[in-house]
Structure 1
Amino acid sequence: MTRIRSILKQIRRVSILPLLCIAHFNGMAQVKPTKPQLNLDFEKVKNGRPIGWGITSNSQYAGQLDSGIVQHGKYSVSLTHLDGEGGFGNIGITIPYSYPGKKITLSGYLKTENVSDGFAGLWMRIDPKVAFDNMNKQQIKGTQDWTKYEITLDLDPTKTKAIVFGGILIGKGKMWIDNLNIQIDGKDIATLEPIAPARIPAEEDHEFDQGSNIGTFELDQNKQKALKDLGLIWGFLKYYHPQIAAGNYNWDYALFRVLPKILAAHNQQQRDQVLTAWIRSLGTYDTQIDTQEEHREIKLRPDLSWISSSGFSATLQLELQKVRKAKRNGSNYYIELASGIGNPVINNENPYAGMDMKDPGYRILSLYRYWNLIQYYFPYKEQIRKDWKTVLDEFIPKMVAADNTKAYTLTTLELIGNIHDTHANIWSKNKIIDEFRGERIAACYADFIQDKAVITGFHDKERGNIAGLKVGDILTSINGKPIESIVAEQLKYYPASNLPTQRRDIANNLLRSNDSTLQLTIQDGKKVYNRSVPTYPMDKMPLYSKYRNTDTCFKMLDRDIAYFNNGNAKRNYLSDLVEHVKNTKGLIIDCRNYPSEFIVHDVCSYLLPRATTFTKITVGDISTPGLFYTLVDQKTGNTNPDYYKGKVVILVNEITQSSAEFHAMAYSTHPNAQVIGSTTAAADGNVSPFFLPGGIRTMFSGIGIYYPNGDDTQRVGVKLDVDVSPTIDGIKAGKDEVLEKAIALIRQP
């Protein structure tokens, strides 16, 4: 829920994925593993790079060989922060095997220079999700000379498929890494023989690597029903059938084998016969009697009513009910729950990044993959507020018709929008989306103020002045199209939890274009005029400057009113701030941002008189997919007679999202707190990322966050005590009207 936690999750599950995938898809085919040449001292070099290593090199971080600063030999590797906030750079290598032994230790030397806003460290991960450490707890910061560090993890040869390790820099500064060593139970890894990972049938099936072999077809009423039935059953089997959970089938390719038979069936009877035979062919399993879940507070139960309401034959229904009662052991090849958190970790889903999405089989697979993940593992499915099965019905013809990459990508984006989750979108750079929204942008930006699109600032003030625009100008049309029409057309392509957040995101892209100019109609008071505004390449504009917290995290607004910016506060600042704040009349906590660190419990230990429940959290269940239950209520604060006695006013708006909402909920439990502002982004909880065919990366909120009394936060947002929003006149005058209201509330007797 925090930026750092999000970064760490990316490191665990995404950032090293290309390295791991190389090992996974090539290494799994090897019967007799050969000892890897690990180049742990970086002395083996080709084309200026250490052989075998993957090193971050992008606009934020640069990794490179260094021959001037070394701990041993001729070379070390350095990682340097270049620009931006909240990122990380890493160096990594994958061993696509396991080894005999119980403990594995990675050691090595690190040197740091001005590391801040994060830490430096070694990292090691035992896949799939056996163990992980990146020295987060040691918090190596600042400047220090070469120092030896080590990580030790449990090694389970029966589960381990790969060992991934290296060095990492989170935040700013520079680090060097050199002279690594790996030992297993005290023995150098070079002296040990690797163990080939156990063969998993799902990973041995490559029949459809080049395409699904599903040709184009006309979608009539019979085929529409056939595809809906298959989508329901395919996903149900994926998460409920023990043989599939064990990894005994490549379930994507199983779809491509049965799909032609389903499309060829002339009626429901023939389809049911095909589906019944298919289920019986999957193998045997034990069943169990339905158990009561009285020991858990159930929030959401599986929706399996379709088994009996879809018009299936009695024989097919019986087979499906048997699978429903199958004895499951709480593990599944395709999904697990994150340890200690509970959000889904979606495994072994091939992104098919190079697949031509003109292939109808892969488009159908994409719809089924997404729809069933939401069906069984989205904690807020009931907040969708319509029968999710109708969405499957709606998007079957859309996906069948989306016979090119652009149409497929936009249809997928529209599908994602149906879950109404601000965490859910097409993330990472996507060329189709960039071209669709425009690869150029004007020098100014807009926000929706009082339901109008209003110029509120400039990416580049000098270029903005050249365009003749000023803060407070109202946009009424772009290229002759009214703003209201643009919004109405674009809403389906902007997934978010609520309308204010959709409009937030639309506003960010209103002034994008593929043309060199935009024709704007502008209203300034009673005056209306047209203006031709130049656009510039997106990469030439500081697009996120409006969200950066450049102000200090703390200041006194008056002698008795303190202001605390939650967006750029650091944990190590807090003890000093307490002395400045404790005798003030009021404390304003600005959550119109995203926290730079997860400081909620640190702040609440000062704010609250006692441990206080501030949220309920719900999680899913691998043994009963579609079931969600409540964990122990979450508390914050502790016994503190010297807690803050003044008024606390928390500021929120549509930028307050996820971790910021979580922080605001906790702060609002102060005995004299008020939350003021406008509707928040209404998407809380740790995210679960995954890929869809075509290399589309998306995610959804993976755990449910509720108020202690069970009230919703998803789609609703943080509860407001006072609703106050900026006005156009206030924007023109340069006022922060929400902050002014907070000061007025504190001044009230």
Structure 2
Amino acid sequence: MKRIIYPLLVLVASGLSARAQTPKATPNLNLEFEQLAKQTRQPTGWWVPADNGYTVTADSVNPHQGRYALRLQSTGEVNTKAFGVASIKLPVAFRGETVTLSGFLKTENVQNGYAGLWLREDGSSSTLALDNMSKQNVRGTTSWQPYSITLPLEKGAESLVIGGLLTGTGTAWLDGLKLTVDGKPWEQAPVRLVPHFKAEQDTVFVRSSGITLGSLSGQQLENLAVLGRVWGFVKYYHPAVARGEFNMDAELLRVLPRVLASSSTAARSQVLSAWLASLGPVPACPKCREPDPKSVRLQPDLDWLMDKRQLNPSLSEQLTFLRRNRNQGPHYYVSTVPRIGNPMFEHESSYAQVPGRLPDDGLRVLALYRYWNMIAYFFPYRYAIGEDWQRVLPEFLPRFVAARTPEQYRLTALALIGRINDTHANISNDSVLTAYWGAYFAPAQVRFVEDQAVVTGYFDPQLGPATGLLRGDVVESVDGRPVKDLIAERRPLTPASNEPTRLRNIARDLLRGPTEQVRLVVRRNGRQVPLTISRYPSNKLNLAYNNGTLDPAASAWRKLPGNIGYLSLGTIQSKDLPAIMEEAQGTKGLIIDIRNYPSDFVVFSLTKYLLSKPADFVRFSAPLATYPGLFLSSSLLQVGSGKGAAYPGKVVILVNELSQSQSEYTAMALRAVPGATVVGSTTAGADGNVSAIVLPGNINTRISGLGIYYPDGRETQRVGIVPDIEVKPTIQGIKEGRDEVLERAVEGIKNSE
């Protein structure tokens, strides 16, 4: 929703040391592309992906300086998710306030995308900052021009990735790149001190836990459930763990066999009590006070600390003391984003090197514990999950243990992720799941309309119609399986905040599969029609979802009949708003379409034209890092500058299940405009900045990490943006190529005169 930046844990008295990071030799970044690999004609030291619809080579005909420029060119087989890129990575072995990448760009016939330099800062577990020049929107045909991008050099940055990219079609050249830190060549920047933690030296279990779990008894399952709760609590509350003195993955794998073997609550508590004591004494914390209840949005769920069925009195007392004297400094495993507040999980091993891509039994239990505790302590919508999160841990223990293949393990993890009911949560970029769902896509777009799977458009203007599928066809079966059965099977494996969005995601992959053809039965004009259609790899299609009636590549602004303005945020650029809003002043009404993902962040730049005075529109909740599980509410945030006259016409906002995250946040801001009307259907219900999570086996997922609320305290999570006037497409409207939601908005403006 906003640019994400993160801090580095500062050096503290114990648990780590620091040394100057001095590379043996300054690497040659080959920023002018004068050194080439003989076989590929690509710059030496640079990474270029293969077979993604783009060629990247040196060009001796069009250099800006020297002998060569780097040329990125589409081959015609690209989609909106692909991009041509060349990049090089270097360690952040220097200090400074800002880092700048500059260079020269030239373009030729760049369409449906843009060209740019790009600069990314990576931390220990995720991306900290990124600029890819998307907002500068360099497209079309341009001569050599200088460009630069600058980012704050985040203290948590461990590496930089720099280079150039091209999205869409056409050709781009780059040349003469320079990397500077605080305006000086990066090689001349001061050497950086790098922290070293004791936890990093504990590498016994880096490849395997050595733990094998067979069939588990009731006592053993109870032991493991209690261990998961205690381990997570200690991980996030203990001051020594926070200082980086202990590798908590390794601590878990050492104590797990002893806890598993415990024959009673007393025996289990004795093992856990001794383990907790081994982490060292917990000093008294005079600063550990309870916050003002008025500022608290969500309290930690820690009633189990007093549960005599789980813990004996001695262990309960130890843990309660730890709660009262919890860590108050920086934390090795988690921090919060400055100026934003969502959590960033750090120093979490992906165990990507695990042989066979299936983590062993101990590491799979670790995966469950890691995720379950991250949700328990850092998910702002824990209360809105729809069930008691405490019960989920023992339910999934036998399922994680029983997973015996990489596919079973990932599907089990996906089912767990789905239980938090967050559309932001899923598993991304996973080759095992790609093979499970299939690598081939039908060139037809399907959405659920009137509770049926309906063809609403095409992902390719030639291949789509060639299937014989028509807009308005109702898909009844796929490869002999009824659609209703496929929905039931895929529902628990499709994370989403609400049912409309779950069906949206199921529809996207309904015709996907592992083979190049698929057999369908569709209902058309009351008759069943059997079809066998071709499927294609993703790079053959433009898989961007749209509403099926408006050209997604069309201009963001246009005038509709009746002197009504129409503004699509899917292709908006903030720099164009002054001219757009000047032209809009004479219109009877303004329709703002957010049935898409905004191409630019316009919450403040757009609303200043629509409000005559500032208006409250949102408040946030964020975790308190020094009190895990507790979330504090922020003050209200306003939109509208209060300068100049506001747009005088009627404002109508269009939303549907495609409206997600930044789209929903933007709709909240626009709803603050007096008299504004929201038309359409419930949105995705996933708002707030996301936080990345990595699980053993290199499973990458994320959560909504920041709570988003209306000024009166109502959340949008799961609920979505509820329209003032509900309008949904109909099958008949799809057949006729109509946009019934837009039609209702136009009608409303005309009737408001």
Give the TM-score, by structure 1 length.
Answer: 0.87
Task: State whether structure 2 residue 28 is matched by structure 1 residue 34.
Answer: no
1:544 maps to amino acid: L
SS at match of 1:255: helix
Greater Cα shift, 457-466 or 498-507? 457-466
Instruction: Tell me how far apart the structure 2 counterparts of residues 482 and 714 of structure 1 sit (CA, whole Å).
Output: 32
Closer/same/farther in 2, CA of residues 60 and 367 from structure 1, 3 Å limit: farther
Closer/same/farther in 2, CA of residues 727 and 245 from structure 1, 3 Å limit: same
Which residue is equivalent to 2:627? Answer: 624
1:339 maps to amino acid: P
Greater Cα shift, 646-655 or 56-65? 56-65
Which residue is equivalent to 1:472? Answer: 472
Q: Deviation string for 1:434-483 (max 9, x for gaps)?
A: 33323333343321111112222233455555544322222233344332
Greater Cα shift, 706-715 or 284-293? 284-293
Task: State whether structure 2 residue 212 is matched by structure 1 residue 211.
Answer: no
Assess if the C-alpha contact under 8 Å between 2:459 and 2:542 holds in 1. yes
Instruction: Tell me how far apart the structure 2 counterparts of residues 553 and 605 of structure 1 sit (CA, whole Å).
Output: 18
Instruction: Tell me how far apart the structure 1 counterparts of residues 573 and 494 of structure 2 sit (CA, whole Å).
Output: 33
1:539 maps to amino acid: S
Assess if the C-alpha contact under 8 Å between 1:416 and 1:425 holds in 2. yes
Instruction: Tell me how far apart the structure 2 counterparts of residues 107 and 442 of structure 1 sit (CA, whole Å).
Output: 41
Unaligned 5+ runs, structure 2? 8-17
Which residue is equivalent to 1:305? Answer: 303
Unaligned 5+ runs, structure 1? 14-27
Task: State whether structure 2 residue 727 is matched by structure 1 residue 724.
Answer: yes
Assess if the C-alpha contact under 8 Å between 1:86 and 1:170 holds in 2. no
Task: State whether structure 2 residue 52 is matched by structure 1 residue 59.
Answer: yes
Instruction: Tell me how far apart the structure 1 counterparts of residues 714 and 156 of structure 2 sit (CA, whole Å).
Output: 42
Q: Deviation string for 1:655-702 (max 9, x for gaps)?
A: 011111111111121112110111111101111122211121111111
Which residue is equivalent to 1:539? Answer: 538
Equivalences for 1:133-212 in 2 at 5 Å?
Answer: 134=131, 139=136, 141=138, 143=142, 145=144, 147=146, 162-164=158-160, 166-169=162-165, 174-178=172-176, 180=178, 189=187, 197-212=194-209
Q: Deviation string for 1:502-521 (max 9, x for gaps)?
A: 11111112222334544433
Instruction: Tell me how far apart the structure 2 counterparts of residues 595 and 148 of structure 1 sit (CA, whole Å).
Output: 24
SS at match of 1:323: helix
Instruction: Tell me how far apart the structure 2 counterparts of residues 154 and 542 of structure 1 sit (CA, whole Å).
Output: 38
Which residue is equivalent to 1:291? Answer: 289
Equivalences for 1:232-247 in 2 at 5 Å?
Answer: 232-247=229-244
Greater Cα shift, 497-506 or 322-331? 322-331
- What root-mean-square deviation, in Å, do the aligned CA atoms of Structure 1 and Structure 2 show? 3.4
CA drift of 1:623 comes to 0.7
Task: State whether structure 2 residue 727 is matched by structure 1 residue 745.
Answer: no
Equivalences for 1:200-599 in 2 at 5 Å?
Answer: 200-289=197-286, 290-294=288-292, 297-309=295-307, 310-355=309-354, 356-357=357-358, 359-428=360-429, 430-460=430-460, 462-527=462-527, 529-539=528-538, 541-547=540-546, 549-599=552-602
Closer/same/farther in 2, CA of residues 112 and 530 from structure 1, 3 Å limit: closer
Instruction: Tell me how far apart the structure 2 counterparts of residues 130 and 503 of structure 1 sit (CA, whole Å).
Output: 30
Which residue is equivalent to 2:15? Answer: none
Percent of aligned pairs sharing the same letter = 34
Assess if the C-alpha contact under 8 Å between 2:105 and 2:144 holds in 1. yes
Assess if the C-alpha contact under 8 Å between 2:709 and 2:715 holds in 1. yes
CA drift of 1:374 comes to 0.8
Instruction: Tell me how far apart the structure 2 counterparts of residues 684 and 561 of structure 1 sit (CA, whole Å).
Output: 30
Greater Cα shift, 430-439 or 40-49? 40-49
Instruction: Tell me how far apart the structure 2 counterparts of residues 461 and 97 of structure 1 sit (CA, whole Å).
Output: 46
Q: Deviation string for 1:150-203 (max 9, x for gaps)?
A: 869669xxx7784525334476663524364657896883798x6773432222
Q: Deviation string for 1:363-406 (max 9, x for gaps)?
A: 11111111111111111111102111111111111111111111
Instruction: Tell me how far apart the structure 1 counterparts of residues 143 and 71 of structure 2 sit (CA, whole Å).
Output: 14
CA drift of 1:249 comes to 1.9
Task: State whether structure 2 residue 676 is matched by structure 1 residue 673.
Answer: yes
1:535 maps to amino acid: S
Give the TM-score, by structure 2 length.
Answer: 0.87
CA drift of 1:119 comes to 7.0
Greater Cα shift, 432-441 or 244-253? 432-441
CA drift of 1:409 comes to 0.8
CA drift of 1:717 comes to 0.5
Instruction: Tell me how far apart the structure 2 counterparts of residues 443 and 131 of structure 1 sit (CA, whole Å).
Output: 36
Closer/same/farther in 2, CA of residues 87 and 248 from structure 1, 3 Å limit: farther
Greater Cα shift, 617-626 or 529-538? 529-538
Which residue is equivalent to 1:17? Answer: none
Instruction: Tell me how far apart the structure 1 counterparts of residues 466 and 320 of structure 2 sit (CA, whole Å).
Output: 69
1:508 maps to amino acid: R
Closer/same/farther in 2, CA of residues 65 and 535 from structure 1, 3 Å limit: same
CA drift of 1:217 comes to 1.9
SS at match of 1:549: coil
Instruction: Tell me how far apart the structure 1 counterparts of residues 97 and 587 of structure 2 sit (CA, whole Å).
Output: 53
2:746 maps to amino acid: I
Q: Deviation string for 1:111-159 (max 9, x for gaps)?
A: 443689667446474856999685969959574646486869669xxx7
Which residue is equivalent to 1:600? Answer: 603
Closer/same/farther in 2, CA of residues 346 and 123 from structure 1, 3 Å limit: same
Assess if the C-alpha contact under 8 Å between 1:71 and 1:146 holds in 2. no
SS at match of 1:726: coil
Q: Deviation string for 1:416-437 (max 9, x for gaps)?
A: 1001011101112x23323332
Closer/same/farther in 2, CA of residues 684 and 62 from structure 1, 3 Å limit: farther
SS at match of 2:666: helix
Instruction: Tell me how far apart the structure 2 counterparts of residues 113 and 712 of structure 1 sit (CA, whole Å).
Output: 45
Equivalences for 1:18-29 in 2 at 5 Å?
Answer: none
1:312 maps to amino acid: L
Q: Deviation string for 1:602-635 (max 9, x for gaps)?
A: 1111111111111111111211111111122121
Instruction: Tell me how far apart the structure 1 counterparts of residues 707 and 412 of structure 2 sit (CA, whole Å).
Output: 27
1:166 maps to amino acid: I
Instruction: Tell me how far apart the structure 2 counterparts of residues 32 and 732 of structure 1 sit (CA, whole Å).
Output: 66
Greater Cα shift, 557-566 or 493-502? 557-566
Closer/same/farther in 2, CA of residues 464 and 49 from structure 1, 3 Å limit: closer
Instruction: Tell me how far apart the structure 2 counterparts of residues 29 and 52 of structure 1 sit (CA, whole Å).
Output: 27
Instruction: Tell me how far apart the structure 2 counterparts of residues 104 and 599 of structure 1 sit (CA, whole Å).
Output: 25
Instruction: Tell me how far apart the structure 1 counterparts of residues 643 and 99 of structure 2 sit (CA, whole Å).
Output: 41
Assess if the C-alpha contact under 8 Å between 1:94 and 1:162 holds in 2. no
Which residue is equivalent to 2:14? Answer: none
Instruction: Tell me how far apart the structure 1 counterparts of residues 137 and 523 of structure 2 sit (CA, whole Å).
Output: 54
Equivalences for 1:78-157 in 2 at 5 Å?
Answer: 83-85=78-80, 92-96=87-91, 98-99=93-94, 109-113=103-107, 120-121=116-117, 123=119, 125=121, 134=131, 139=136, 141=138, 143=142, 145=144, 147=146
SS at match of 1:567: helix
Instruction: Tell me how far apart the structure 1 counterparts of residues 359 and 151 of structure 2 sit (CA, whole Å).
Output: 47
Instruction: Tell me how far apart the structure 2 counterparts of residues 731 and 538 of structure 1 sit (CA, whole Å).
Output: 26
Q: Deviation string for 1:694-734 (max 9, x for gaps)?
A: 12111111111111111120000113111111111211222
Instruction: Tell me how far apart the structure 1 counterparts of residues 732 and 345 of structure 2 sit (CA, whole Å).
Output: 48
Closer/same/farther in 2, CA of residues 388 and 133 from structure 1, 3 Å limit: closer
Instruction: Tell me how far apart the structure 1 counterparts of residues 230 and 378 of structure 2 sit (CA, whole Å).
Output: 16
SS at match of 2:578: helix
Assess if the C-alpha contact under 8 Å between 2:86 and 2:165 holds in 1. no
Closer/same/farther in 2, CA of residues 727 and 109 from structure 1, 3 Å limit: closer
